[in-house]
Structure 1
Amino acid sequence: MNRKQLLNKFLANQCSAEEAKLVFSWLNENPKLLDDLISEDDWTSYIAQEKNVKRRNGNISKIFTVFVIFGLLFFCSNLFEEPHGQIAQDIIRKTYYNPLSRPKEIITDDESHLILAPGALVQVRIKSNLDFRYVKVLEGKVQFEVAKDPSKPFIVESDQLTTTALGTQFIVNYTSRSKDVLVQLLEGKVRVAHIMQSAEHVKILKPGQQIHFSAASQMVLSDFGNTSKGADRLVNFLPRLISTAKEKEYSYPMTIHQSANWLEMEETSLSEIIQYINHELDMPVSYDSLLVRNYRLKGRFRRNAAMDLQDKTQLAESILQLIVEVNPFKLEKQQNTYILKPKK
């Protein structure tokens, strides 16, 4: 497919997210590509219909505005409406682009808040019938304020990294050209994993910590604190959110007992056990809360006095294995997340 064919496909609102992103890169390099495709009459007619797109102080050129408006045909029509006809394998994909010079807030179906910095581009797959909530950052800086739902892990993909949270606030900044990814945690806890998924490629972030990933340095963990340059950028990006990083406490149920060498569960509900796995063992698990509500588990598991991430993973997998052995469930794994499903 040549450039003209792809531009026509873009204007007809038939592009995939990756194709539209490619068109944007072409228009950045050569805005005149649209000159042969848009007549003056079409331009005048469309401008009259798009009340939300305005020229600012006469400084925005016609070509840039054409770039924004026709980009909105594919992207920003989704900001306030449900998409039509974008259903594949029961997953509805919504793609959002922020062409403005200020941050743009998106509220997803689960009431999570996504703040898109200027130029940010994301794809969202969040529906109540899905096993987990999924966002792919295709370009730019996005702040996430995740709605709490222990049964549905919130997964953000950015190039070779996945960031998984249950209910927290964090920033993902992805530069597609250099393949650099920066993840900063403001509140709660997130699990950042490389697609290779070996132990050294999984990190658990605490508030005030960040992961920088690049082809040269791989995953580098550091602190950005509350007064560093990184924190200043965060406050300027979204001043309405708290600027002091903090970690919310988790209290596991009275039926779970821990000692230096043992973990014991006394007739504990499966939902409480899975929340323990999520919070204490840093292992994301998706489940249907209605499906597991009548099931409980009793068991005793050996644990190490000092638990590293590999020890936590092994303990979590042992607990999950017992759950599926004594209950009518099975385990699947997608996007680095275990999914508890009924046996057929």
Structure 2
Amino acid sequence: MSLVVTKAHTKMDSTKYQELLAKYLKGECTEAEQLLLEQWYESLDSEVELPNQNEKKKLLAHNWEVLASQTVRSAPLRKWYQQPYWAAAAAIIIALGLGWLLLKPAPSAISTFKQQLTSLETPLVEHTNTSSKNEQITLADGSRVTLHPQSRLSYPKDFVGTKREVILEGEAFFEVQKNPQKPFLVYSNHLTTKVLGTSFLVKAYAHDKNTTVAVRTGKVSVYATKSVLSTAESAKDANPEAVVLTPNQQVTYVETENKLVKTLVEKPAILIPLEETPSFAFQKAPLSTIIAAFEKTYGIDIVYDEALMSHCLITTTLEQENLYDNLTIICKLLNASYEVVDTQVVIKGAGCQ
């Protein structure tokens, strides 16, 4: 069954189209005929209702191939020295070339970054974790990467130039050696992370529509990958807009909404040495004392109405490992509630008499 699409109301039938195509291939079309030819071809795209864009592209490519081949066969036979042989070749090139352009998928961010890195003088190493356990990788600069299962890390054997660049597909925890003169960049499908020296987690699986960067120590800048690519392509010196993250903060690229969402990590870590951690045993302690202990331990801003809750005294003993559990306990004692807004915790309540 032919896949060439026609409709009763089409302004120009395939026979007329073939005649114009033959003239076009021989360079004999007038400007008006060429415009008509191009408009008719473009109209095919709008007249076909297909379930997805790939099917539409395949159909349009096939239209070119079938009609071009019919034109070549229907042309009168001539000896090769009477008719330039490039006419037939051009028909094939147009059919195949346009089909290739229509069917060829747009290059992914990952493939683009790999192409950039492989152009460097140093070889590019690819390591895939096919096991069920995390694997440790030590890079040329001494930075360590904990690669999660079903994840791939691509990196140069040696870091040359002014940057240290790696590509992640999947999930990995990075502990980067400090080097202010040579920033460390992690490229993933949706996010690009830039650091000088810190520890952070990147979660960027190909099947996941969201990509997340969570910071354990230090400070990182995170960009939407497409903004990094557009900046590089336009040769601008200015950096694209970045989200700056500090410990216990994370940013997620939400593909369905095409935006970056900054918030706190799911389980904030203790950021100070154990010997410096304040006691979480409170005896008739004002709320301000408890909040100060939380902020010092986790490095997170906690907002509440100090005037309204200045008379609240609390007696309790808390575990240090889980900030959110501790906040839940405190809020129950105060008949209050809390929510995470951006990278802050906001406590709301009626206060104490």
Higher-Rg structure is 2
TM-score by length of 1: 0.39
Higher helix share: 2
As a proportion of its length, which structure holds more strand?
Answer: 1
Structure 2 length normalisation: TM-score?
Answer: 0.38
